[in-house]
């Protein structure tokens, strides 16, 4: 059994050198630790990072280390990244629907919005905010969409659980949360 401080150090080191999200099962296998101990360590490391320049993001059974959202503009300057561009209202509406209803098929998004969402989904996919996450087990096997780790990073959330609650859960409303967020061009 790995001592708690050493476990936190190992997890932080592995996530730091990883170029993307790491499945918890892979961390468990590499560190040779029980799943419950790993889960507790992830929670503890997330709490420790809450007031630092790096954060832990978790989506499902994967976790990654990212920079703190408030450091974004400074990191962009350091790296010489282009200025951000705001998403259109159609893309924001589509993004909100996907975030709150994922996994969701294009037809369901269009039923909620009442208009075609091809362009908005294309924009969101191009910016890495939405991706294909599977297929619906019905005729035609339509693609299901979900948000990405990049979505969490640019919105400044550690997990989807931090999305603000909606007054009417049937429809994402314009609460200003996503509309004030800028995302980089690709």
Q: What is the pLDDT of residues 92-149, one digit of tens each?
A: 999 999 999 999 999 999 999 999 999 999 999 988 999 999 998 989 899 999 999 8
Q: Are 103 and 134 in contact (CB under 8 A)?
A: yes
Residue 78 lies in a domain: no
Tens digit of pLDDT for each residue in 38-63? 999 999 999 999 899 999 999 889 99
Residue 13 lies in a domain: yes
Query: How many domains is the chain built from?
Result: 2
The Cα 83–Cα 139 span in angstroms is: 43
- Which residue range forms the structural domain that includes residue 58? 4-67
The answer on 20 and 63 residing in a single domain is yes
CA distances from 24 to 57, 133, 134 (A): 12, 18, 20
The Cα 148–Cα 152 span in angstroms is: 7
Find the CATH number of the domain harbouring 8.
1.10.10.10
The answer on 103 and 141 residing in a single domain is yes
């Amino acid at each position: 059994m790995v001592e708690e401080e050493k476990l936190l150090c190992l997890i932080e080191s592995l996530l730091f050198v990883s170029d993307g999200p790491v499945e918890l099962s892979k961390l468990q296998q590499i560190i040779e630790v029980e799943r419950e101990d790993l889960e507790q360590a992830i929670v503890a490391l997330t709490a420790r990072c809450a007031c630092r320049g790096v954060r832990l993001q978790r989506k499902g059974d994967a976790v990654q280390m990212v920079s703190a959202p408030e450091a974004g503009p400074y990191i962009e300057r350091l790296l010489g990244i282009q200025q951000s561009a705001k998403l259109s209202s159609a893309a924001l509406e589509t993004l909100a629907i996907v975030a709150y209803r994922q996994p969701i098929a294009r037809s369901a998004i269009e039923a909620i919005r009442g208009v075609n969402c091809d362009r908005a989904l294309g924009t969101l996919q191009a910016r890495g905010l939405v991706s294909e996450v599977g297929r619906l087990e019905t005729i035609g096997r339509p693609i299901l969409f979900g948000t990405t780790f990049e979505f969490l990073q640019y919105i400044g959330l550690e997990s989807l659980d931090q999305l603000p609650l909606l007054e009417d859960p049937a429809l994402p409303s314009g609460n200003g949360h996503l509309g004030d967020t800028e995302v980089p061009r690709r």
